[in-house]
Structure 1
């Protein structure tokens, strides 16, 4: 649960969690922000899709902007980190058969291969229901206990075992999703367990989106980071089945889906074989290409090897489904030209401010829209050791709807970063609002997360909804309007009439947080019992200089 700090407590926070004395209002240039958003979201950049001329134009522009802002090259003598990508497109899908049942691709199930192979064949693979597919030693929970998954297909429930709770209390934080509830984790764990395939049961509320989203996202070309191998450490197939499909499977096995969900939600659940073989097949075509992360640095004055990170994704969707006017360019002005422009403007502001003890690194990552791929590549191949990365700030889709009384905190209550945020917000006269949809797991769905899962504490603080002009009702209405009409659509375009005051509030907050992290000698820790505490401690223990 997010810890809300009283004004008296804020005043008494330890030095590790205060804004440095005399921190000025951030010297952030609105003109710089506007020019970068206007340029990056123009039709000339064709929606900034990696692997296209528009993507390359974006990278070239950001290199120029980083240099002009005063950043030094962040990767040796280069501003670039090459990100090798592979695009795999499945076709010729056979039905998914489970025992005597047959299910139609797209309508009933979807599946892809993470392996770079010409064909995928699943045959006579025993189907095993593994509950929520969680192995969490620190929480005393292991859905795979006592089962050998070699050659078998895991049938897995989405979200956490206690997601249906009304509160944020429970073995997996109740309504608030943990990483164990994310589909990415479930596929990773199934692969670690040696499964041949993994199928997640979709349910609208538990997933926080409908089957149409699954069908649209999991058919067609899929992009992944190219690790240099053939992906043989992954399952042969990862996929989803609809809730109706899962119910039919359990019924054929003489079981009830609802009853099995209830059983899987209890501590001590044991995996259950459904006694039916799984089979399907499809062909794969692959395309390799290279994109780039863009990296700049402001070296610290006294402890330059200690890093405070800023992240934002520069990419968007390129050309997409046309709107009524025939416009087929998804310009991505809010998502995420705003966050990318914030990198440039904050770098410029920090360069014009007194140097900090620690280094500030600004990282514009590629291929977020394909699954956080640029961030994942950096986290797996960090230019600056993660054990020497103190923490950071991720910026994705900064709102342009006016000043707010609050900010929306995703990932609150997980680490000592809460205290830094409380102090910075007190200096601004704003408050922290908890995530309004903790069950959706948004903290695990943006570019900070590949760093987080490797132990680096990161802020993900979104624009607030309590508008000075119109309150929460107007803020929620404007957010809903953006989601319905512009998000991931051609109408997410630059507007000269935007109210930039709220965005500038947010940038001032990010500036203050970086000043605080960059001037302290402390290292924020994950809270006791958090799922990322152990990996951070292991990372720190392996390094003589970090943490």
Structure 2
């Protein structure tokens, strides 16, 4: 396993910045620099080893990583920073693991209904199951917002199914704005199959979310060609032309929409690991040194000889640097403020 010397240079710069003012040179003697490099490389090698299995939260590798960091904090002379005698190093964090499973999109006009094939559509939700209907007879309007975010409608968008045109670089922001206005679902019309494949590549990877920041939405995607086949090519071309006009106002569509998606959800607890060097002047504030210990776990393709994503640079090197900084600051002269790692 090979590692960059970049973290060593960064750490030495940090140590120089933290050093008290004195006539001594800021740079460290060669033997100290070599010892720092050796410790960093040794710590990175442990954190990025196959034994840690990619440090994914909620896995044995994640738990082994936490235990190892706790041990290193104790060896450096840190004390607990959790302020919880019952959980000396660890502050629990509730997480959600989400993996998309099934999806269905049905569109129609009049009595005609079309189940859009998976090659032309995708639907996602962070919930176990989400279902939405819109269009004539449902009481739920289907609103075409074009390239906008529906903000001109205000509360009138609440409960509606919004249809928007993809606009690279702005889609996430616009979609979130529609959900903030309480749209029931958002259907994005993407240019082609290649664009839909890019959406799938991003959306169908397993995700981890903070349970406290759980999303509650239903997002769907359809290719321009598939949408035109339901709406009618001439009518759809006219609507897109209108949407390109700056004076465009959202319009309600005479379109029936049914969307459904399911996800495999796993709720579990992970943890932050918090150590502290108490300051000599309580009440003067604190300094926080932060880094994420987790990585992707096993993320290589199925059937690969080595599926572990070891994460030497993301973020084993950062944690190694943080631990070395903690060790040296603890061994140095007392500092006024509390320092949390």
TM-score, normalisation: structure 1: 0.47
Answer 1 or 2: which has greater strand percent: 2
Say whether residues 1:110 and 2:89 are aligned partners. Answer: no
Change beyond 3 A, Cα 1:93–1:39: same
One of 265, 290, 312 as aligned partner of 1:311: 290
Among 113, 119, 127, the residue aligned to 2:142: 127
8 Å contact kept, 2:143–2:162: yes
CA drift at 1:120: 1.9
Aligned to 1:219: 204
Separation in 2 of the partners of 1:30 and 1:153? 57
Q: What is the SS of the residue equivalent to 1:311?
A: coil
Q: 1:153 aligns with which of 145, 150, 161?
A: 161
- Distance apart, 1:133 and its partner CA: 5.9
Equivalent pair of 1:130/1:144 in contact (CA under 8 Å): no
Greater C-alpha Rg: 2
The count of residues paired between Structure 1 and Structure 2 equals: 303
- Match of residue 491 from structure 1: none
Structure 1 position 57, deviation (Å): 0.7
Q: For residue 74 of structure 2, what is the aligned residue in structure 1?
A: 67
- Asked if the contact 1:144/1:270 (under 8 Å) is kept, the reply is no
Output the CA distance in 2 between the equivalents of 1:261 and 1:327: 49
Q: Quick one: structure 1 residues 96 and 42, their matched pair in 2 at CA, closer, same or farther if it must change by over 3 Å?
A: farther
Q: What is the CA deviation profile of residues 308-346 of structure 1, one whole-angstrom value per residue up to 9, with x for unaligned ones?
A: 433322222222335997222111222221222222223
CA–CA distance in structure 1, aligned partners of residues 335 and 189 of structure 2: 49
Find the aligned partners of 1:156 and 1:33 in 2 and give their Cα distance. Answer: 50
Distance 1:257 1:121, change over 3 A: same
Give the structure 2 partner of residue 191 of structure 1: 179
Change (3 A) 1:284 1:22: same
1:56 counterpart (44, 52, 63): 63
Task: Extract unaligned runs of 5+ from structure 1.
Answer: 1-17, 135-142, 164-180, 363-547
- Cα-to-partner distance string for 1:166-218 (whole Å, 9 max, x where unaligned): xxxxxxxxxxxxxxx472x55543332111112445579xxxx9644431332
Note the C-alpha offset of 1:149.
Answer: 1.8
For the residues of structure 2 that align with 1:158 and 1:354, how far apart are their CA atoms?
Answer: 58
What is residue 480 of structure 1 aligned with on the other side? none
Contact kept in structure 1, 2:187 and 2:220, CA below 8 Å: yes
Offset from partner CA, 1:290-311 (integer Å, 9 cap, x none): 1112222334444656344333
Report deviation, 1:64: 1.6
User: Is the contact between residue 41 and residue 337 of structure 1 (CA under 8 Å) also seen in structure 2?
Assistant: yes
Distance 1:20 1:256 in 2: 68
Supply the distance in 1 between the matched residues of 2:123 and 2:304 (Cα, whole angstroms).
Answer: 34
**Residues 202, 243 of structure 1: 8 Å contact kept:** yes
Q: Which residue in 1 is equivalent to 2:44?
A: 37
CA separation of 1:340 and 1:94: change in aligned 2, threshold 3 A: same
- Partners of 2:189 and 2:303 lie apart in 1 by 35
**Aligned equivalent of 2:326:** 347
Q: Equivalents in 1 of 2:314, 2:179: separation in Å? A: 32
Find the residue that maps to 1:122 and give its secondary structure. Answer: strand
The answer for the alignment partner of 1:419 in structure 2 is none
- Give CA deviations for 1:327-377 in whole Å, capped at 9, x if unaligned: 221112222212222222233344345555544333xxxxxxxxxxxxxxx
**Cα distance in 2 for residues equivalent to 1:249 and 1:359:** 64
Q: Tell me if the contact between 1:126 and 1:277 (Cα under 8 Å) persists in the aligned partners.
A: no
Residue in 2 that maps onto 1:85: 95
Aligned to 2:272: 293
CA distances 1:55-88 after superposition (whole Å, capped 9, x unpaired) = 1111111112223334332211422121222334
1:427-446 CA distance string (max 9 Å, x none): xxxxxxxxxxxxxxxxxxxx
Match of 1:22 in 2: 21
Task: Check the 8 A contact 2:130/2:262 in 1, yes or no.
Answer: yes
Contact 2:280 2:335 in 1 (8 A): yes
Q: 1:110 to 1:325 in 2, by over 3 A?
A: closer
Indicate the SS of the match to 1:94. strand
Higher RCO (CA 8 Å, separation ≥ 6 residues): 2
The equivalent residue for 1:238 is 219
Following TM superposition, by how much is the alpha carbon of 1:50 offset from its aligned partner in structure 2, in angstroms? 1.5
The alpha-carbon distance between structure 1 residues 298 and 202, as it changes in their structure 2 partners (threshold 3 A), is farther
Q: Contact (CA 8 Å) 1:40, 1:58: kept in 2 or not?
A: yes
Which 5+ residue runs of structure 2 have no aligned equivalent? 1-16, 135-139
SS in 2 for 1:334: helix
The separation in 2 between residues aligned to 1:159 and 1:301, in whole angstroms, is 55
Structure 1 distance, partners of 2:18, 2:239, is 52
